[in-house]
Amino acid sequence: MAKAIPRIRSRRYYGSRRNLRIGSRKSVPEDIVGVIYVQASFNNTIVTVTNGGSQVLSCLSTGCFGFKARRRATPFAAHTVTANALRTVKDQGLKQAKVRIKGAGPGRDGAFRAIRYGPIRLISIEDITPLPHNGCRPPKKRRV
């Protein structure tokens, strides 16, 4: 008699996402050049690592690591988050990456320092902070 095919249980059965293994089965071919996006605002720092296409390999923010309130915007928090994101991606097989930094927050330097001395070889560094060409139209002159 043939062996029964095990039933696949839905995600709802397992509860929250924390119970599932996320990202452990992702692997990256050796010739792929990844892209590391660092979004440094004045309140938070978000680090996203993609495989050059549209697939996200790792995405972390300083709030995920227990940094709350004002400590989320520190360079130390950004350094910690970036180092952990790079460690995860290195285990998946990524060896080289481009860096794109956006924003003017205090976590910008800490994240870049972690990337520079991290396990992944850098190909290029790009600043993609949006700059206004002429800005918004100013309000009309006040009449008293």
Kindly list the domain boundaries of the chain, sorted by start residue: 34-127
How confident is the model at residue 25, as a pLDDT?
57
Could you list the pLDDT tens digit for every one of the 144 residues in the chain? 566 656 555 555 545 444 444 445 566 677 789 999 999 999 999 999 998 887 899 999 998 888 888 898 899 999 999 999 999 999 888 899 999 999 998 999 999 999 999 999 999 999 999 988 888 898 999 998
Half-sphere exposure of 49 (CA within 13 A, CB side): 30
Q: Which helix (H) or strand (E) holds 84?
A: helix 75-92
Q: Bridge-partner residues for 127, per DSSP?
A: 101
Classify domain 34-127 at the CATH topology level: Nucleotidyltransferase; domain 5 (3.30.420)
Secondary structure (3-state) at 38: strand
Q: Which residue from 32, 98, 26 is spatially nearest to 57, judged by alpha carbons?
A: 26
Secondary structure (3-state) at 15: coil
How confident is the model at residue 26, as a pLDDT?
63
- pTM above the 0.85 mark? no
Q: Output Rg (C-alpha) for the chain, integer angstroms.
A: 20
Tokens for 48, please give them. 């996203």
